Amino acid sequence: MNRVFVAVAATTAFALAMPASAQDMPGMPGMPGMPGMKMPAPAKKPAVAKPVAKKPVAKKPAKKAVRSPARHRARAPADAMPGMEDKPAAGTKAAPPPGPQSMPGMDMSGDHGAHDMSAMPGMTMPGMAQSGTALPAGNAPAPPPPMDHYADRFFPASEMSRSRAAMMREQGGQTLYQVMFNLAEVQARAGRDGYRWDGEAWVGGDINRLWLKSEGEGVFREGVESAEVQALYSRAIGPYFNLQAGVRRDFQPSPTRTYAAVGFEGLAPYMFEVEGALFLSNKGEVLGRLEGYYDQRLTQRLILQPRVEFNLSAQDVPEIRLGSGLTDAELGLRLRYEVSRQFAPYIGVSYEAKTGRTADFARADGKDRTTTSLVAGMRFWF
């Protein structure tokens, strides 16, 4: 009988200790180990007389101080779990559910679309280093570029020097060449159909080149009226322009002349190809030339090229029928179709006019002072 009584008393004591121990679950908010969650204290049951020594009942949760409702509500949004809401104490009014207004930097009291972000300047996390565009503006000089090469630590200097020279040669130091005829055409005009050419060739690198230029014109069944060849050394003076100097030789008209030549050739702003030169003959005569053209791309294959050329003389040269000043000018408009980049037939119109004393010499020789020609030809390079 005593054993039965002891078993009943132990069972009763265990049942009384269960609610208290349930509040001491680690990881639950409001309980030891999880702040912010508090379970209501279990209702006390009347003690049962026990003939034997009573086991101590755990009263740790009962002795724990109850937090104020205001503090508990302030932490509720961050700590609350679904289904674990605290019940308000007896005699107190239930607090409204916590909202976003309890979070620092978020003011939802007024318009829900307006947020006060003043508490989060720059949207940066504390302790994160600023970098990139988040750095403050400054005027410190840029760090110097590295002057050494990491590979030099592992390979001999002679091998590294040879490899760098090979790389520079492959990336623009090779010897290149090009041959191009910008004009190779037949000119149809009243009574005196003719032909004209204007070509150039060069060989060299990006900085130093040797140029050969030739241009001239003639009339069918009458022969060549003018022909010249230039041999020039070219030196790059910038990304877009070359300075040229050399010799020019005129084969027609007679008597022939040899000139020292100095000039420039390059790409002007807005993609205008320009060329200019001064010539000093072995007789002391000074001539000048200025020409340019522009490739207006209408489609990927159809290009319209306006072209202009002016020739000048510093003095009258009756032997070769030139007058001082502007001797002649040529205006042309040519439309070409690029079958490939290297080969493009074209058609167009060309207008040439002699001026001043040169026009007088032409009239005396029975030639026209102005000529309008329909042209057809091809532009090619390789």
**What is the residue type of 135?**
L
3-state secondary structure of 8: helix
How many residues are recorded in the chain? 382
pLDDT digits (tens, 9 = 90+) for 169-208: 888 778 899 999 999 999 998 878 999 999 999 999 889 9
Contact 69, 95 (CB under 8 A): yes
DSSP H helical ranges for 107-172: 157-168
Task: Work out the average pLDDT over 157-161.
Answer: 91
- Counting Cα atoms < 13 Å in the Cβ hemisphere of 139 gives 0
Task: Work out the average pLDDT over 110-132.
Answer: 52
pTM above 0.75, yes or no: no
Token pair for 28: 């639950």
Buried b (16+ CB within 10 A) or exposed e, 342-381: eebebebebebbbbbbbbebbeeeeebeebebebebebbe
Residue 281's pLDDT is 95
Residue 245's pLDDT is 98
Residue 33's pLDDT is 46
**Class level of CATH domain 176-381:** mainly beta
Residue 288 or residue 137, greater confidence: 288
- Provide, rounded to the nearest whole percent, the portion of the chain with pLDDT above 70: 65
Domain boundaries, the chain: 1-69, 176-381
Residue 202's pLDDT is 96
Residue 162's pLDDT is 92
Q: Is the pLDDT of residue 81 over 60?
A: no
Residue 336's pLDDT is 97
DSSP H helical ranges for 135-270: 157-168
For tokens 């205008």, name the residue. Answer: 272
Buried b (16+ CB within 10 A) or exposed e, 133-163: eeeeeeeeeeeeeeeeeeeeeeeeeeeeeee
Residue 134's pLDDT is 75
Measured CA distances, 54 to 6, 16, 21 (Å): 10, 12, 18
Contact 291, 332 (CB under 8 A): no
